[in-house]
């Protein structure tokens, strides 16, 4: 059973730690019941909302990297798992939209800087093991290969000396 002091303790622990803290089973169900019956409802509600908002911010912050890695953050409640899955769907949908946007055909004769950049490819200077990039695709790069990659990945690899830009 939740008490005001237990909620406050959880709030302080969540505030002090960077990672999501483990909550009691059925926390949100018990929290709703507590807030309905609490005589200190205004104070309890403020503490509870602060705790919940901190957890939501942490979940939002973890989402992109967890989606990219294909993992679920630790210490989520059942309700938070549902929230995370909805956020994951939005992120994946957004990434698909961005991919589709960049693949749209361009009107001939109206070249812009982006189109010119797309004609630049890179030559791999150092082999890399398979890795997953921000676009959630796997890449394996072998020394000497000439490949076309997303601009952000290309820029990263050139900056760190793994590849060099060549024109085709």
Assign a CATH topology to domain 4-101.
Methane Monooxygenase Hydroxylase; Chain G, domain 1 (1.20.58)
Do 3 and 10 form a contact (C-beta atoms < 8 A)?
A: no
The whole-number pLDDT of residue 54 equals 96
The whole-number pLDDT of residue 99 equals 59
Q: Torsion angle, CA of 65/68/130/152, rounded to 10 degrees? A: -80
The whole-number pLDDT of residue 116 equals 45
The whole-number pLDDT of residue 115 equals 47
Low-confidence ranges of the chain (pLDDT < 50): 105-111, 113-118
The whole-number pLDDT of residue 93 equals 86
Domain 4-101 shares a fold with domain 113-167: no
| pTM given for the model | 0.58
> Domain residues of the chain, as ranges?
4-101, 113-167
E strand or H helix that includes residue 27? helix 27-37
Q: What is the pLDDT of residues 19-68, one digit of tens each?
A: 999 999 899 999 999 998 877 778 989 999 999 999 999 999 999 988 88
Q: What is the CATH code of the structural domain delimited by 113-167? A: 3.40.5
């Amino acid at each position: 059973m939740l008490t005001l002091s237990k909620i406050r303790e959880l709030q302080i622990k969540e505030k002090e730690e960077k990672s999501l803290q483990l909550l009691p089973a059925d926390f949100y169900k018990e929290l709703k019941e507590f807030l309905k019956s609490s005589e200190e409802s205004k104070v309890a509600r403020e503490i509870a909302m602060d705790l919940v908002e901190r957890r939501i911010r942490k979940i939002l912050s973890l989402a992109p990297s967890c989606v990219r890695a294909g993992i679920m953050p630790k210490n989520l409640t059942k309700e938070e798992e549902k929230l995370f899955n909805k956020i994951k769907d939005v992120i994946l949908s957004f990434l698909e939209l961005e991919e589709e946007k960049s693949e749209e055909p361009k009107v001939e004769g109206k070249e812009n800087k982006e189109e010119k950049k797309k004609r630049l490819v890179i030559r791999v200077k150092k082999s890399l093991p398979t890795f997953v990039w921000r676009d959630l695709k796997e890449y394996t790069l072998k020394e000497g290969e000439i490949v076309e990659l997303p601009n952000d990945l290309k820029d990263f690899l050139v900056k760190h000396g793994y590849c060099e830009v060549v024109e085709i």
